[in-house]
Amino acid sequence: MQSTQAEQPRNILVTGGAGFIGSALIRHLIKHTQHRIINYDKLTYAADLHALSCVADDPRYVFIQGDINDGEKVQQALQTHQISLVIHLAAETHVDRSIAGPSTFIESNIVGTFTLLEQCRHYLASLSKKAAAQFRFHHVSTDEVFGDLGDTGQFDEQTAYAPSSPYSASKAAADHLVRAWQRTFDLPIVISNCSNNYGAFQYPEKLIPVTITNALNGKSIPIYGNGQQIRDWLYVDDHARALCMVAFKGKLGESYNIGGDGEQTNLAVVQAICERLNHLVHHKPKGITDFNQLIHFVDDRPGHDKRYAINANKIKSTLGWQPQESFTSAIDKTVRWYVDNQDWCQQALTRSCADEDIG
């Protein structure tokens, strides 16, 4: 989305901008708009500033290392940079980690969102009428808040919340807080709920990067249960464009579902990756003639949702968003990126010891 001539450059606070989606969003904003971006990120194991090296020297980009639970630091960032738009992505995001240790999810996703909302409310009250009229808070959420679906149907914006995991429950709680701050305190908010993303710079613990990394290292590729869980996959750059549309043009107080009509079973995703690797990688690990050999079914994740599917008609019809990539086109370039950037994956994994059999 290009910024139009009439659109004034804004100062945008992106929380979690050093993560997978946040960094894609910042690269998009610096490349395609005139806005100034203040990236506020705690730098957990999932963050990587290398994903932002192409914008690091841009005069319109500023990085602040900070926790969203540090209210004073958040307030200082809002005031110093005269923020007129907050796009809130900072969160703990891996479902398996939320089962192994939920407390950081409660701390960052719920208490952190509460802290941010409170700081934005106080900041808004300090602004002139004109500046306050331009302020907005965009909360970035997930389709996982809706729970799971049977064989048919899709989540739309009216679907009742029914989260299954500590991760999705913490995101659902945050969504409720954001709505309450709008209803009770008139905070100008928009929310988006997106399906599973994939693309470059995703921490190698999620299904797609863990599959590629394990395969290239000749390690087994773990698949939960029978692998028949269905997810609606969206290429991360399509999500970044959607986020810009919701943030700038979304109707205040509303939420927008974002999805790519890319339903695939986990097994089909892994097999598609193995097929591409079979063509791309000539020197396979010892004893491997076909990467599909490495697929290994493991006990299902507790509370594992069966199927997610997104009805994205609202964002398509009201904001004119369309995904530009299909699963076939984007999985191809994603696999190539990870094959070419295995050093990045290995370095990322050294930031955390939890690289065993998760995904």
Ligand X SMILES: NC(=O)c1ccc[n+]([C@@H]2O[C@H](COP(=O)([O-])OP(=O)(O)OC[C@H]3O[C@@H](n4cnc5c(N)ncnc54)[C@H](O)[C@@H]3O)[C@@H](O)[C@H]2O)c1
Which of 29, 90, 117, 310 touches ligand X by CB under 6 A?
90
CB of 69 to ligand X, least distance (A): 6
Contact region for ligand X (CB under 6 A) — 42-50, 130-138, 208-216, 245-253? Answer: 42-50
194: contact with ligand X by CB under 6 A: yes
* Site membership for ligand X, residue 75 (CB under 6 A): no
# binding residues, ligand X (CB under 6 A)? 30
Instruction: Give me the least distance between CB of 70 and ligand X, in Å please.
Output: 8
Mark the segment that binds ligand X (CB under 6 A) among 86-94, 178-186, 295-303, 328-336.
Answer: 86-94
Q: Which of 27, 28, 42, 314 binds ligand X (CB under 6 A)?
A: 42
In sequence order, what E strands does 57-166 have? 61-65, 85-88, 136-142
Q: Tell me which of 41, 92, 143, 205 is the catalytic residue.
A: 143
Q: Is 67 among the catalytic positions? A: no
Contact 237, 276 (CB under 8 A): no
In order, the DSSP letters of 137-183 are: EEEEEEGGGG----SS--B-TTPPP---SHHHHHHHHHHHHHHHHHH
Q: Compare residues 41 and 305 and give the one whose CB is closer to ligand X.
A: 41
Give the C-alpha distances (Å, rounded to integers) separating 88 from 13, 41, 116, 191, 206.
Answer: 8, 10, 9, 10, 21
User: Which position among 40, 61, 123, 167 bears the catalytic label?
Assistant: 167
Q: How far is the CB of 327 from ligand X (least distance, A)?
A: 14
Q: Both tokens of residue 170?
A: 């913490």
One character per residue 143-172, x = contact with ligand X (rule: CB under 6 A): ----------------------------x-
Amino acid at 258: I
Using the minimum distance from each CB to ligand X, give the nearer residue, 175 or 187.
175
Query: Measured on CA atoms in the order 63, 138, 359, 201, is the torsion positive or negative?
Result: negative
Comparing CB distances to ligand X, the nearer of 66 and 188 is 66
* 13, 28, 30, 41: residue in contact with ligand X (rule CB under 6 A): 41
Q: Is 144 an annotated catalytic residue?
A: yes
The three-state secondary structure class of 197 is strand
How far apart are the C-alpha atoms of 157 and 197, rounded to whole Å? 19
Element (H, E) at 69: none
Region from 56-64, 89-97, 130-138, 214-222 binding ligand X, contact rule CB under 6 A: 89-97
Q: Does residue 89 touch ligand X according to CB under 6 A? A: yes
Q: Binding of ligand X at residue 189 (CB under 6 A)?
A: no
Residues 5-34 that bind ligand X (CB under 6 A): 15-16, 18-22
Residue 241 within binding range of ligand X, rule CB under 6 A: no
Q: By C-beta, is 24 or 223 nearer to ligand X?
A: 24
Q: Looking at beta carbons, which pairs linking 70-77 to residues 24 or more positions away fall under 8 Å? A: 70/115, 71/115, 71/118, 71/119, 74/40, 74/115, 74/116, 74/119, 75/119, 75/122, 75/123, 77/13, 77/38, 77/40
Q: Please write down the HEC assignment for all residues of 304-355.
A: CCCECCECCHHHHHHHCCCCCCCHHHHHHHHHHHHHHCHHHHHHHHHCCCCC
- Residue 142 touching ligand X (CB under 6 A): yes
CB 186 within 8 A of CB 341: no
Q: Please tell me whether residue 93 binds ligand X under the rule CB under 6 A.
A: yes
Handedness of CA 204, 210, 214, 220 (dihedral sign): positive
Least Cβ distance, residue 306 to ligand X (angstroms)? 17
- Catalytic positions are 143-144, 167
Name the residues that contact ligand X, by CB under 6 A. 15-16, 18-22, 41-44, 46-47, 67-69, 89-93, 108, 112, 140, 142, 171, 194, 196-197, 203
